[in-house]
Amino acid sequence: MVDGLMPERRGVMLVLSSPSGAGKTTIAREVLSRDDKISMSVSATTRLKRPGEVSGVDYHFIDKTEFNIKRNQQEFLESAKVFDNYYGTPAEPVMTKLAKGTDILFDIDWQGTQQLVEKAPDDVVSVFILPPSHGELERRLSRRARDTSEEVARRMSKASSELSHYAEYDYIIVNNILGESVVQVMSILTAERLKRRRAVGMSDFVKRLCEDG
């Protein structure tokens, strides 16, 4: 394919949701490292920074006052309260990247997904990641040294209510073997990129094909 002749394409808003401990963050990291046409949406949060997390990379860490100001000024595409903390997706970077045909990866919960689907039903592709079993979910949560045991217990009890939202998603992945789950997410992304409705420049492209022929 000659550069510059590809039809224009609208970006995909690829949402990954799961209960904590299902492996969503690891899958997201792998997808980002394997594909340079997708970029992560960096959320704002009022939660405290965990060891190893980097401001502006993992999250924009802000306080409640700043969060409320941004929310009131409609700076978030969606926002939600999760585990007593507030989270929101800054709208501006997403809209700019989407218009340029860059795909965006979102690591957000079911509440945020519902809001994104409402705002951009044609752009959002939603994937729910399930842990392979209750026992494995518990083990993965306990292995996370970064959260206190109290936090682990709280997240475990929240997991079942989060899991009940799986049916609202387009795709479901059971994350048993990480490598396989990553390939499955990449396959979804590949297929969704090829959807005809995203190929905004297709009619001109086909016209040129006919003229050249």
User: Where on the chain is the footprint of ligand 5GP (CB under 6 A)?
Assistant: 20, 43, 47, 78, 80, 82, 87-89, 107-109, 111-112
Chain residue at closest Cβ approach to ligand 5GP: 112
CB of 112 to ligand 5GP, least distance (A): 2
CB of 90 to ligand 5GP, least distance (A): 9
Q: Which own/partner pairs from 30-34 qualify as long-range (CB within 8 Å, at least 24 positions apart)?
A: 30/178, 30/182, 31/105, 31/182, 31/185, 31/186, 31/189, 32/105, 34/182, 34/186
CB of 192 to ligand 5GP, least distance (A): 20
Q: Which lies closer to ligand 5GP via its Cβ, residue 25 or residue 201?
A: 25
CB of 70 to ligand 5GP, least distance (A): 12
List all residues 6 or more positions away from 105 whose beta carbon is below 8 Å from its beta carbon.
14, 16, 28, 31, 32, 38, 39, 40, 41
Q: Which lies closer to ligand 5GP via its Cβ, residue 182 or residue 198?
A: 182
Comparing C-alpha atoms, which of 18, 14, 106 is closest to residue 59?
106
- Point out which residues pair with 79 in neighbouring strands: 88
Q: What are phi and psi of 18, to 5 degrees?
A: -175, 165
